[in-house]
Amino acid sequence: MTVMTTEQIEHFLDEVFPQRMGKIESVGDMSATMRLNISHEHLRPGPRVSGPTMMGLADVALYVAILAQIGPEAMAVTSDLNCHFLRAASGDHDIIARAKLIKLGRRLAVGEVQIFSASDETRPVVHVTASYALP
């Protein structure tokens, strides 16, 4: 069960993390889905979506999944992030991040994120595992 709605999380992030990327599409039990509208600043030559863009979206998506479970906590911070780039993401389409918490403890959260190109939501372009230190 979530303790914050999508709208509540967006409002909270507007206050504490306004520079974040992406828009929350949904939050659920131990999960979150976000979308990033790709623009020129997100591209590398190719044009392909850059690695830092996808890692950043994955990081925010997992943070959103955590906030939905624990409530507004600005100091839940990334303690580890491991990223596997599986295939190129075309710069012609949005990207979608699906975050899932694997473990949510009192001091540590562990999760994974799969990122998809909006043109093909069946094959992930990136797989991320990450952990967060909780205050």
Q: What is the mean pLDDT of residues 46-53?
A: 97
Q: What is the mean pLDDT of residues 103-126?
A: 97
Q: What is the mean pLDDT of residues 107-122?
A: 97
CA dihedral 17, 27, 106, 128 (to 10 degrees): -80
Residue-wise pLDDT for 13-40, tens only, equals 999 999 999 999 999 999 999 999 999 9
pLDDT at 107: 97
Q: How far apart are the first and last CA of the chain?
A: 21
Residue-wise pLDDT for 71-113, tens only, equals 999 999 999 999 999 999 999 999 999 999 999 999 999 999 9
**Is 1 a residue whose pLDDT tops 90?**
no
Q: What's this model's pTM, rounded to 2 decimal places?
A: 0.96
**Is 115 a residue whose pLDDT tops 90?**
yes
- Is 59 exposed, middle or buried, given 0-12, 13-18 or 19+ CB atoms closer than 10 A? buried
Q: Which fold has domain 6-12+20-133?
A: Thiol Ester Dehydrase; Chain A (3.10.129)
Residue 64 confidence class, pLDDT cut points 50, 70, 90: very high
Token pair for residue 6?
């999508």
